[in-house]
A = this chain, B = another copy of it.
Amino acid sequence: MEELQTLKNGADVLFLTLGAVMVLAMHAGFAFLEVGTVRTKNQVNALSKILVDVAIAIMAYFFIGYFLSYGISFYKPVPELNIASGYELVKFFFLVTFAAAIPAIVSGGVAERIKFNAHLIATFFLAALLYPFFEGITWNSNYGFQGFLEKTFGFGFHDFAGSVVVHAFGGFVGLAAILVLGPRMGKYMKDGKVNFIPVSNIPFLALGSWILCIGWFGFNVMSAQAIEGISGLVAMNSLFAMAAGIFTSLIIGKNDPGFIHNGALAGLVAICAGSDVVHPISAMIIGGVAGILFVKFFILCQNKWKIDDVLGVWPLHGICGAFGGIAAGVFGLEALGGAGGVSLMSQLFGTILGVIIAFVGGYILYKALDAIIGIRVSEDEEYAGLDISVHNIQAYPEESKL
């Protein structure tokens, strides 16, 4: 029996390690999605922001954030730290890759004009304070929020893999940052004209999307956090939401490659919350609606509302994430073939609360940073591109030299 326990410990640590590594890989996906979407003069900056984000988020979450959300610290010698094959350590590893997703999501919205240092400082506060606060009240029952919802509405706020905790949260912080920052130079003219700023590289955009799709199965499946809780349903629902997101964005988006490669992600964002409780056919519906939502809101933002969200992170993560949080409260019901155990009221409550904390907290953070150090590069720097003005190099230095 002891031998079985050892094997079980090992299997759990392997399970979470694989999940953590897959979500870490998603950051390469964020990087290439941004590289492909921004103009060539900002590709190096996109790569650098995402990589350094990861580093800063790890430190901020280790020293402050994780303690805030789960009350666990790691200040003990190695033999005590690594008991039960070090499960507590890989749990941190898994969860820090989620925390690091917040600045990675924001990064795509504020691309091409935010100051590098301002972005990195914001990353610190997002991973150390803002994200852990909402993560804690949702995923750590000690905070009392889930108990309150259970008493009031029968069930707590169900967000299995973070449609709201990660995606809607990141998307609404991104929206706040974009509003504080303003649109890229030359995007919206004084006479009301909207200029089209072309993306640079569809293959890199597609590569980013593929990496994110693949890593997403670690994000969702390993959110069970122990091999005992693994669920084939979560895997299948993720696949189906992805497929449906591709399909509807293809139709609504008129074969546009940017829309279909983001449509896959839209489906995946929306299914996170309910992937463990809805039927695969419901997952198709959720993913399909998300694909439509993304395309419609992206076009509205860019052309009508004049919100210059470069990668469409608010439509993708914000809108589809919030939709996914609420949808889990509908399609998760037993009446619709789901597993039950969810309450629509709790889903609405949790989703709206998450969105408000993200937007208000994000707005205050970026406003404060703007007042203290300024968050926007100068017009000259923006015109020259952040690659040359921040990193002193271009994405294809040999070509530039010729």
Q: Which residues does A use to contact B, with CB under 8 Å?
A: 3-4, 6-8, 10-11, 13-18, 20-22, 24-25, 27-28, 31-32, 35, 39-40, 43-44, 47-48, 51-52, 54-56, 58-59, 62, 74, 76-79, 81-82, 85-93, 96, 116, 198-204, 206-207, 210-211, 213-214, 217-218, 221, 227-228, 230-236, 239-240, 242-244, 246-247, 250, 254-258, 260-261, 264, 277-280, 284, 334, 337-339, 390-401
Contacts and interface: CB of A to CB of B under 8 A. Distances in A.
At the interface, is chain A mostly helix, strand, loop or mixed?
A: helix
Contacts of A40: 398-399
A394 to B, nearest CB: 8
A77 B198 contact: no
23 contacts: A4-B7, A7-B8, A25-B210, A35-B203, A39-B398, A47-B257, A51-B261, A52-B246, A52-B247, A55-B250, A59-B243, A77-B337, A85-B232, A90-B232, A92-B236, A96-B239, A198-B397, A198-B401, A199-B397, A201-B396, A255-B392, A256-B392, A257-B391
Given A8-B7, A14-B227, A202-B44, A247 B56 contact: yes
Given A51-B260, A206-B47, A232-B90, A14 B15 contact: yes
Identical copies in the complex: 3
A126 B338 CA distance: 31
